Structure 1
Amino acid sequence: MISQAINLEPLYPGATLCEKIRKVSAEGFKEVEFWGWDQLDLEEVRRTCEETGAKIRAFSGTKEWSLCDVTHRTEYMDWVQKSIEAAKKLDCDTLILFPNHFTSNGCADFRKQYSQDAMIANVAATLTMLVPILEEHHMTVLLEPLANKGTDAGMSVTDTSQGAAIVRAVGSSHVQLLCDVFHMQMMHGNLLNNLLTNLDIVHYIHIADAPDRHEPGTGEINLDYLAEQIQNSEFEGTVCMEYFPAAETEKGMPAVKDFLKNLNKGL
């Protein structure tokens, strides 16, 4: 069975995270995702989840340091451990890790410090060092390759094949690959083949149309076809809607629900 989740952050501008949980729960979503945790009242979030029946599916374990930078590896790993403790309070077992952290000016850029190969090796090495911690706490981390466009030109892991090679090199079920079809389309396309050839390490998919990262049906990706093929494949995991509404959040919900209906058609 494919589970369905939705990222709260871009939805319902001006609402608090807990208000967003209540709103998407009323729309029928029972698994949610968000980005940073350290500015939240975790007890309030936990309580809201209990009241609505919502589950925190995943959130970001990246903040001020980067996987690709060994200079601050100790600080990076300390932050992941703090994120694990936060996850436990929310009954969540999955963290999303970005190759580079983000600043107010885009992603942190380490191209003057490291070669591309060195950054890839740094990501793999730090993930490998995290494995014993993840095993101890029964946690999974998802490496998410991201597009290196505009102010994010310094992103170190941008290609699905790069991410897959890193995850396979680590060789632990506690380290998996997150495939974000928006970022994949912006970087290399060939979405279905990249997904289906990596099902052994991909159990989490982000969905948004391209090039504007809005709801299904607003861009160039045939997401209905993609949903059908994912549903007919051996994929077992979570499909999470991570998109920026083209207008008011409520107006885009029918398109999101139609996509998810196609995803689990016949199941």
Structure 2
Amino acid sequence: MSAAPYRLAASAEMLYLDRPFVERVRAIHERGLMVEIWDWSTKDIDELVATGAEFASMTGYLTGTLTDADGIAAFLDSAEESLKVAARLGCPNLNVHGTGLGPEGLPVTPVEVVTPDMWLTAADTLRRLAELGERHGRVFTLENLNLAVDHPGTPFASAADTMALVRAVGSPHLRMNLDLYHAQIGEGNLIELTRTAMPYVGEIQVADVPGRCEPGTGEIHYPAIAAVLKEVGYAGVVGLEGWAKADPDDALNAFDGAFA
């Protein structure tokens, strides 16, 4: 396993798909990796706790938006419910997005133009979210997404957007989830982006481009990213949020090798 200062995790939502969910969690845990999950409301939380797995990240809301009154109320209410589950799982990080995502990862309320008022309202909503995190001793992470392939119409989607909002809130309980798969599609220049974002990062997620599979299947040279993370002393989590090109064990071997 990796001797680097960071920890490695993998998404149980995207690997070992031929197994029941709890068995996916066990398989990842047995490899010595932390586990990431998405929507907790579809899971048997007691079963997940019983696996003994260490959970790195989970989705921190069920519905809602950052910029309209009804959506904000739903967002914050479901964040409070998510915090209760995070406490049961011992999960430190709860992941959120610029708006609620529906089937196939599409935004529930697509946005073509993000106005200045929307920016101010989103920052205020995230400030309230960070206050919730502080009260419960957890960190919310705001993930960047790509618009071109997976999440068209999502507001506040780019890494530049998420960084700006995290900086504006200025709380250790709201950080970036810097997803380098999404950033490669939307922005590129990943090494400099990683360096610039590092003061605001709470987690890093990876997959290769194209295809969203394990490192080594596409165009991103992840060992170079790993070298930067070691150089700057990043001690958080690097999570594989990607599909297996073929065999999940081979995918995790490639992931571990890229970040060793």
Q: 1:118 to 1:151 in 2, by over 3 A?
A: farther
Whether 1:33 aligns to 2:36 is yes
User: Does structure 2 retain, via aligned residues, the 8 Å contact 1:199–1:234?
Assistant: no
Corresponding residue for 2:129? Answer: 130
Equivalent residue for 1:23, pick from 24, 27, 36: 27
User: Does structure 2 retain, via aligned residues, the 8 Å contact 1:142–1:175?
Assistant: yes
Q: Shift in Å at residue 12 of structure 1?
A: 0.8
Aligned positions of 1:214-253 closer than 5 A: 214-253=213-252
Aligned positions of 1:167-246 closer than 5 A: 167-246=166-245
**Partners of 1:198 and 1:175 in 2: how far apart?**
13
- Please give the secondary structure, in 2, of the residue aligned with 1:102: coil
Question: What's the TM-score once normalised by structure 1's chain length?
Answer: 0.89
Corresponding residue for 1:111? Answer: 111
Corresponding residue for 2:15? Answer: 11
User: Does structure 1 retain, via aligned residues, the 8 Å contact 2:223–2:259?
Assistant: no
**Partners of 1:243 and 1:151 in 2: how far apart?**
13
- Please give the secondary structure, in 2, of the residue aligned with 1:84: helix
Corresponding residue for 1:45? Answer: 48
**Partners of 1:72 and 1:182 in 2: how far apart?**
28
Question: What's the TM-score once normalised by structure 2's chain length?
Answer: 0.92
Corresponding residue for 1:264? Answer: none
- Please give the secondary structure, in 2, of the residue aligned with 1:197: helix
Q: Tell me the alpha carbon deviations over residues 154-213 of structure 1, each in whole angstroms, 9 at most, x when there is no partner.
A: 111222221111101101110001100000000010111111112211131001111211
RMSD: 1.7
- Please give the secondary structure, in 2, of the residue aligned with 1:121: helix
User: Does structure 2 retain, via aligned residues, the 8 Å contact 1:60–1:97?
Assistant: yes
**Partners of 2:150 and 2:35 in 1: how far apart?**
28
Q: Percent identity?
A: 27
**Partners of 1:178 and 1:104 in 2: how far apart?**
21
Corresponding residue for 2:80? Answer: 81
- Please give the secondary structure, in 2, of the residue aligned with 1:141: strand
Unmatched tracts of structure 1, length 5 or more = 262-267
**Partners of 1:23 and 1:122 in 2: how far apart?**
41
- Please give the secondary structure, in 2, of the residue aligned with 1:76: helix
**Partners of 1:118 and 1:189 in 2: how far apart?**
28
User: Does structure 2 retain, via aligned residues, the 8 Å contact 1:68–1:156?
Assistant: no
- The range that moved more, 189-198 or 116-125, is 116-125
